Amino acid sequence: MDHEPDRRAFLGAAAAVAGGLTLAPESAMGQPKGANAGAYALPADLSAHNALSLVLGRAGDKSVTANLVAADRLEAFIEYGTEAGKYALKTPPTALAPGQPVEVAIPDLRPGTRYFYRLNFRRPGDAAFNARAECQFHTQRKPGDTFTFCVQGDSHPERPQMSEPNLYARTLQRAAADRPDLYFCMGDDFSVNKVRAVNAESLTAPYLLQRPFLSLVAQFASLYLVNGNHEQASLFNFNQKGELHDVAVGVQTARNKLFPMPAAEGIYTGDARAFRGIGLLRDYFAWTWGDALFVVLDNYWHSPAQVDTGFPGGAGKREDKPKNRDWWDITLGDDQYRWFKRTLEGSKAKFKFVFAHHVLGSGRGGVEMSEFCEWGGKPRGKGAGGDFKTKRPGWELPVHQLMAKHGVGVFFQGHDHLYARQERDGVVYQEVPLPADHLYATHNEDAYTSGTKRANSGYLRVTVSPDEAQVEYVRCWLPKDETATQKTGDIAHSYTVKARS
């Protein structure tokens, strides 16, 4: 237990993250210290989001949560109503301290209703409030309603070779213009790979960096984060002593303070187990929205074995994947599997959409990987043995077969950094493209041996109507790369998923 004093000291710092994390001055906002220092910021015309950003989450039938972060001391309130330009209701004024995220509940809403709102703020001593432009959100849709949700793949701001901030902002603004009710990030959005000194500030920096970017769309849409391997938010790290444990606690604490993820409450079910030093993980959750069931799975918080890359640490090493691993060791865990099975069995929704960072949380490919171990039942790797019944006692079916049995329409994943659409047993495996790859690559395409593949960048727009869901890959380009035949907003690929009867 000789690591305990250090851990206590760190957890004290983590509590400081929770209660009063400190941001840089407004002029430097969007360029937090630590990971990605100085390089990755919004274009100047969007810098208001550095000074004050709003992210919506946990949209329900009668409430939504707005998470506010300001660079300076401010007072803010939200006025809202059901008609554009008319705001009959408002939240009480909220005092914002520099860098301290505050959740503002917007209660007493009507189900199945679009609301229009404005964020108002003033500096201490100012008489008048400044009003932001009008935004909107929607409460839980009723069956039969047509609505849109959007999905982005790995944004990887720490990798200049596949992530350009101006293109990222452009993609987010293009998605916001669709006015989606819901917005999903597939993971690898908050990498701590470049963190060398582990402390609250360095682990929070990737989350602060994303705030002004994601607020571009999440001021209009309830945001849902999927955990990726580069977040290093994992049970394997949590179960280690010292630095790795501190990383797991620190990043999950920052994530839940800066982004309002659901727990098992209201219209949501999900992970009910609290972790020491963190509380509820808010990592896997499910809910119904209109005619669709949405399920977000977590590949990393329930596997005692290391799933993918490790935390590089102070020397920048230890990033390797585990050597000679037994793929049966990688797991969603009994609790998450049972909850997933219950969720699918209990849903009569016409559409079922499932999200995870990747099949088995590691490897490359979609349907190719879906055949193995707890996802598909076959052993993987040279000399690997074992069968599903003995490796997963009490599990009715492997994950893929469970999804096929219960009519999952689309399984969304990230991690492979391209657009790829495949199908197996009626389940679409949809690899989601990068939002900000300014080299417009088609990474890992060799791993996909079937289906339709397209190059980056852009996002997915899914329009759910009573009879079918239309999935569209919306391309996004930097202005300098647009031509007569390639423009932001072009549809690179499209298909429909029929409603289950």
The stretch among 24-32, 149-157, 232-240, 488-496 that binds Fe ion (CB under 5 A) is 149-157
**C-alpha span between 50 and 47 (Å, rounded):** 5
The stretch among 68-76, 95-103, 229-237, 316-324 that binds Fe ion (CB under 5 A) is 229-237
Nearer to Fe ion, 334 or 446 (CB): 446
The stretch among 160-168, 181-189, 235-243, 310-318 that binds Fe ion (CB under 5 A) is 181-189
CB of 228 to Fe ion, least distance (A): 5
CB of 156 to Fe ion, least distance (A): 6
The stretch among 9-17, 162-170, 184-192, 259-267 that binds Fe ion (CB under 5 A) is 184-192
475 within 8 A of 196, measured Cβ to Cβ = no
Spatial neighbors of 251 by CB under 8 A, at least 6 apart, are 190, 192, 203, 206, 207, 231, 232, 233
CB of 176 to Fe ion, least distance (A): 23
229 belongs to the binding site for Fe ion (CB under 5 A): yes
165 within 8 A of 155, measured Cβ to Cβ = no
Spatial neighbors of 429 by CB under 8 A, at least 6 apart, are 359, 366, 367, 370, 411, 413, 420, 421, 422, 423, 451
CB of 437 to Fe ion, least distance (A): 11
- Name the residue among 400, 372, 399, 377 with its Cα closest to residue 388: 377
154 belongs to the binding site for Fe ion (CB under 5 A): yes
**C-alpha span between 292 and 466 (Å, rounded):** 10
228 belongs to the binding site for Fe ion (CB under 5 A): yes
363 belongs to the binding site for Fe ion (CB under 5 A): no
CB of 357 to Fe ion, least distance (A): 6
- Name the residue among 457, 429, 307 with its Cα closest to residue 370: 429
Length of the chain, please?
501
DSSP, res 499: P
CB of 358 to Fe ion, least distance (A): 6
The stretch among 70-78, 186-194, 316-324, 399-407 that binds Fe ion (CB under 5 A) is 186-194
204 within 8 A of 164, measured Cβ to Cβ = no
The string over 427-436, giving b where at least 16 C-beta atoms fall within 10 Å of a residue's C-beta and e elsewhere, is: bbbbbbbbbb
The stretch among 152-160, 161-169, 424-432, 447-455 that binds Fe ion (CB under 5 A) is 152-160
State the DSSP string of 25-76: PGGGTT--SSTTTTT----GGGTHHHHEEEEEE---SS-EEEEEEESS-EEE
2 within 8 A of 160, measured Cβ to Cβ = no
The stretch among 139-147, 207-215, 220-228, 388-396 that binds Fe ion (CB under 5 A) is 220-228
**C-alpha span between 168 and 281 (Å, rounded):** 27
Nearer to Fe ion, 255 or 415 (CB): 415
**C-alpha span between 439 and 163 (Å, rounded):** 9
In the region spanning residues 236 to 275, those forming contacts with Fe ion, defined by CB under 5 A, are none
Nearer to Fe ion, 52 or 360 (CB): 360
CB of 30 to Fe ion, least distance (A): 22
Nearer to Fe ion, 162 or 349 (CB): 162
CB of 441 to Fe ion, least distance (A): 13
Cis check: omega of the bond before 191, within 30 degrees of 0? no
CB of 234 to Fe ion, least distance (A): 12
CB of 395 to Fe ion, least distance (A): 25
188 belongs to the binding site for Fe ion (CB under 5 A): yes
The stretch among 125-133, 319-327, 413-421, 483-491 that binds Fe ion (CB under 5 A) is 413-421
**C-alpha span between 158 and 188 (Å, rounded):** 10
Neighbour tally for 465: CB within 10 Å:
18
Nearer to Fe ion, 219 or 229 (CB): 229
231 belongs to the binding site for Fe ion (CB under 5 A): no
DSSP, res 318: -
Nearer to Fe ion, 91 or 232 (CB): 232
323 within 8 A of 382, measured Cβ to Cβ = no
**C-alpha span between 49 and 140 (Å, rounded):** 27
451 within 8 A of 427, measured Cβ to Cβ = no
Angle between helices 4-20 and 243-258 (to 10 degrees): 10
CB of 456 to Fe ion, least distance (A): 12
Binding mask 314-353 for Fe ion (x = CB under 5 A): ----------------------------------------
Among 138, 406, 415, 461, interactor with Fe ion by CB under 5 A: 415
CB of 318 to Fe ion, least distance (A): 17
The string over 6-45, giving b where at least 16 C-beta atoms fall within 10 Å of a residue's C-beta and e elsewhere, is: ebeebbebbeebbeebebbeeeebbbbebbbeeebbbeee
**C-alpha span between 428 and 422 (Å, rounded):** 6
Nearer to Fe ion, 188 or 437 (CB): 188
In the region spanning residues 72 to 131, those forming contacts with Fe ion, defined by CB under 5 A, are none
Nearer to Fe ion, 228 or 290 (CB): 228
| Residues contacting Fe ion: total by CB under 5 A | 5
CB of 471 to Fe ion, least distance (A): 21
The stretch among 153-161, 257-265, 383-391, 452-460 that binds Fe ion (CB under 5 A) is 153-161
456 belongs to the binding site for Fe ion (CB under 5 A): no
Interaction site with Fe ion (CB under 5 A): 154, 188, 228-229, 415
